[in-house]
Amino acid sequence: MDSSRIEDFVANAALLAAHLTQQCEQAAAQQQAAAEGLQRSGDAVRSAVAAGKAELADHARQAVREGLSKEVGALTRSLDESGERLRRAAAELQREQDQIGRRMQALSWRSIISIGAAMLVVVAGTAFWAWQNVQRAERAQVRAEVLEALQQVAITSCDGRPCLKLEAGLPRWDRNEEYVLIDTSVAPPPGPPADGAP
C-alpha cells in the first residue's frame, strides 16, 4: 500500500475520528440536555404529584369536614328532637303523676269520709242499741221492783175499790189495818172498807 494511500487513510480516519468525536460530544451534550430535561420533567412531575396529593388531601379533608358537619348537624338535630320528645314525655308523665296524686288524694278523702260515716253509723247504732238496752234494763228493773213489791203486798177489793195489803209499819186503812186504799180517781173521798174485806 502506498504511503499516500495510508496518509489518506490516516487523514480520513482522523477526520472520521474527529467527526465521530464531535458527534459523540454532541450526543453526550444532547444526552446531558435530555437528562437535565428529564430531571426537570421528573422534578415537575414530582412537584405536580405533590401538589396533586396536597390538593387531593385538602379536598378529602374538606369533603370529610363537610360530610361530618352534615352528619354532625343531622345528629345534633336528631338528638335535639329526641331530647324534646323526652322532655314532652317527662312532662306528660309528670302531669299524669299529678293527676294520679290528685285522684289518690280525692280517693283518700272519700275513703276517710266513708270510714268516718261508717264509724258514725256504727257508733250511733251502738249508742241506740245501748240506749235501748238501758231502757229495757230500767223497765226490767222497774218490773223487778214491782214484782218484788207485789210479793210483799196483796191486792184486793175494798167496797168495790181496789186496795192493797202492805207490810207492817206503813199507814193503814182504819177498818182493817192490813190494807191501804188506792186512789184511782182524782177526787173520790176515801171511805171505810167493806166489813168482809180480808
Q: What is the pLDDT of residues 100-140, one digit of tens each?
A: 888 888 877 877 887 877 888 888 888 898 888 888 888 88
C-alpha closest to that of 152 among 115, 130, 176, 178: 178
Q: What is the pLDDT of residue 152?
A: 65
Q: Is the pLDDT of residue 56 over 80?
A: yes
| Predicted pLDDT of residue 120 | 83
Is the pLDDT at 186 greater than 50, yes or no? no
Determine the pLDDT at residue 188: 43
Please state, in angstroms and rounded to a whole number, the distance separating the CA atoms of residues 193 and 156: 11
- Is 114 strand, coil or helix? helix
The pTM is what?
Answer: 0.35
pLDDT of 14: 79
Number of Cβ within a 10 Å radius of residue 132: 10
User: Would you state the cell numbers that stand for residue 111, as one nine-digit string?
Assistant: 275513703
The per-residue pLDDT for 163 is: 78
Mean pLDDT of the chain: 78
Higher pLDDT, 69 or 171: 69
pLDDT interval class at 183 (50, 70, 90): low
Q: What is the pLDDT of residue 43?
A: 85
pLDDT the model gives residue 189: 46
Contact 184, 164 (CB under 8 A): no
Weakest-pLDDT range from 7-16, 55-64, 147-156, 184-193: 184-193
Q: Which residues contact 178 (CB under 8 A, 6 or more apart)?
A: 165, 166, 172, 198
Stretch 143-165: mean pLDDT, rounded?
75
Give Cα 34 to chain centroid, integer Å.
88
pLDDT at residue 171 tops 70: no
Q: Is the pLDDT of residue 73 over 80?
A: no
159, 175 Cβ separation under 8 angstroms = no
